[in-house]
Amino acid sequence: MAQRVVIDPLTRIEGHLRIELETGNHKIDKAWSETTQFRGIETIVAGRDPRDAWAFVQRICGVCTSVHAVASIVAVENAIGSNPPTQARLIRDMVLASQNIQDHVIHFYHLHALDWVNVPSAATADPQKAVDFAKAIGSTWKGNTVARMTEVRDTVKGILDSGQLTIFTGGYWNHPDYRLPPEANLMAVAHYLDALQFQRSMIRIGTVFGGKNPHPNFLVGGMACTIDPSHSESINQVQIDQIRQWIAESAEFVNDCYLPDATAIMGVYKDYFDIGAAQPNYLAVGLAGATYAGDPAASRLTSAFTAVKPGAIYDGDLGTVHPFDPTRIAEWVSSAWYTYQDGDVGLTPDKGETTPHYTGPQPPYDWVADHPQYTWSKAPRYDGRVVQVGPVARVMLAYAQGHPATKALVDAATKKLGITVGQLNSTAGRTLARALECSVLADILARTTFPTFVKNLKGGDIDVFDPSKWEPSSWPASSSGFSLVEVPRGFLSHWVSVEKGKVARYQAVVPTTWLAGGRDAQGRQGPYEESLAGKGQHPLADPSQPLEPLRTIHSFDPCMSCAVHVMDPEGAELQVATS
């Protein structure tokens, strides 16, 4: 008889996710992905000034704030015909790049690595052997010293001796499938701590250009910051020099530390390149940071990332890249707590509706999947297919198009690990693909985007705002637009309709919706569900310690809502939810 297993809350993600499983004989038979948080941002911006929409919709997420802001601004610019200057677009590129790099590093070390790295084991490690291990895997990170490893080992010892594991409380540390030797665990814990310092530097780039973080400032038609190398109140030479240093530090950390760690650790868990595959259909509009205002076939590219064209890959066939067509995107609500005016017909986002209709059990509940509707996440489909988005989709698309840097890194990694490119569609593959992409992205930022921005500055180009379409009187009475942006977790699109100067309709199709959505009208599972239950072979050794499904779900880097923040201006409590 199948055993029911519930993982709720699924931690070390953004937002709230519940996974329900039916399992037997240590394998997963069925899976349901349940987003238990409602995102109502689309309804909040209706009727507002479209120039303000970015400030609201960047609250979709508490972390990926910049990417939603940029997506919103580009969609509005597409609708009203605004054309931001080159320097403003380059600034957005740098903000998006720093967000992507920071997010990938945080995901690997702080959200995902503890699925593979046993922290208490590090207390028994020999620091010299930890340094030797780092050298053996090709890590040239400057933190690989005996003094640093000794310091970290003693810190872990101190935590264990205190009887409280602090931030590491709740881990399945006695699970038998932790495989790294103590020295590798010590190296990884040291790098976990170093990554905390690194990610602080990376986010400063967005802070300089946006004024603060999270929720930096942006502007329809350009950027809210000003540039004047000789004035302290503007982006000046001092800040440009700081940004140059932070970009160099990011490339150093990614290539010397992150990429070697990810490759080596996934190599130890090599069988996970055959676990956790989802549907082999991939959708992306380019490399991370690629930004389009409207249909790529008919409109301009607003970013510097031109090397990889938008496209889709079906059934794992890397020999054929299908042209991207935004009209092939549709969202279904077959398993979601929404209702459409005309029923579950699969609406394109430009005609999308966000009408909540909760039909699930009243909390507290033990099991949700007995109900046809079980999630707040719609189920997007492209060309009628379930697709994967995110780093693995971008890497597959870039590889299929022969992008030199991506192809070189993928070929080197697959050869070293003894796997095929197709095996990147897996739990370990998604994790490795993210590190490979991060290396490419850090190089583009350091060698292309930032130098181009500086070169333009030297040529006297400090213009960051197009005022021609600022006043609503310059807009058409009725218009619509959309944006396509590649962000850390995948393909993001915002869709806006403007009527008489106000937002008439707004939809955001976020990467995690593509991945976490449930079954559609044909009963096809979303990628999370397929990765756990698709072949009926996903392991789950001990239902009381569901480490294996955590590894697979974490490999997607879930960002569920991403965290709706509602507050009273007086600080009063709004509502208490219990379960």
* DSSP secondary structure letters along 260-320: HHHHHHHHHTGGGGGS----S-EEESSSTT-EEES-TTTS-B-SS--SS--EEE-TT-TT-
* 562 annotated among ligand-binding-site residues: yes
Cβ neighbours around 293 below 10 Å, total: 25
Q: For position 87, what pLDDT does the model report? A: 96
Residue 576's pLDDT band (boundaries 50, 70, 90)?
very low
In a domain, 312, yes or no: yes
In a domain, 396, yes or no: yes
In a domain, 222, yes or no: yes
Is the pLDDT assigned to residue 63 strictly greater than 90? no
Mean pLDDT of 424-451: 97
The larger pLDDT score, comparing residue 300 to residue 101, is at 101
Q: What is the CATH number of the domain that holds 174?
A: 1.10.645.10
Is the pLDDT assigned to residue 562 strictly greater than 50? no
Mean pLDDT of 466-477: 96
- 226 close to 235: Cβ distance less than 8 angstroms: yes
In a domain, 92, yes or no: yes
In a domain, 169, yes or no: yes
Q: For position 577, what pLDDT does the model report? A: 40
pLDDT one-digit tens code per residue, 121-137:
999 999 999 999 999 99
Q: Which of 82-86, 495-499, 549-553, 557-561 is the least confident region?
A: 557-561
In a domain, 571, yes or no: no
3-state secondary structure of 350: helix
- 485 close to 67: Cβ distance less than 8 angstroms: yes
Q: Which of 148-157, 270-279, 395-404, 553-562 is the least confident region?
A: 553-562
In a domain, 573, yes or no: no
571: left (phi over 0), alpha (psi -120 to 50) or beta: left
Q: For position 305, what pLDDT does the model report? A: 66
Residues 6+ apart with CB under 8 A from 225: 91, 208, 209, 210, 211, 217, 234, 235, 464
Mean pLDDT of 510-528: 96
Max Cα-Cα span within the chain: 74
Q: Which domain holds residue 548?
A: 3-563
Is the pLDDT assigned to residue 563 strictly greater than 80? no
Residue 578's pLDDT band (boundaries 50, 70, 90)?
very low
Mean pLDDT of 217-223: 96
* 42 annotated among ligand-binding-site residues: yes
* 438 annotated among ligand-binding-site residues: no
Which of these, 529, 294, 490, 296, lies nearest to 394 by C-alpha position?
A: 490
Provide the terminal-to-terminal Cα distance of the chain, rounded to the nearest Å.
28
Cβ neighbours around 319 below 10 Å, total: 6
Given strand 502-509, what is the order of strands in its sheet? 291-293, 478-487, 490-499, 502-509
Mean pLDDT of 327-347: 96
Q: How far apart are alpha carbons 571 and 544 in whole angstroms?
A: 39
Which of these, 96, 100, 486, lies nearest to 291 by C-alpha position?
A: 486
Mean pLDDT, rounded, of the chain:
93
Is the pLDDT assigned to residue 564 strictly greater than 60? no
Total structural domains within the chain: 1
The larger pLDDT score, comparing residue 407 to residue 64, is at 407
Is the pLDDT assigned to residue 569 strictly greater than 60? no
Is the pLDDT assigned to residue 570 strictly greater than 90? no
In a domain, 577, yes or no: no
Residues 6+ apart with CB under 8 A from 155: none
pTM of the model: 0.95
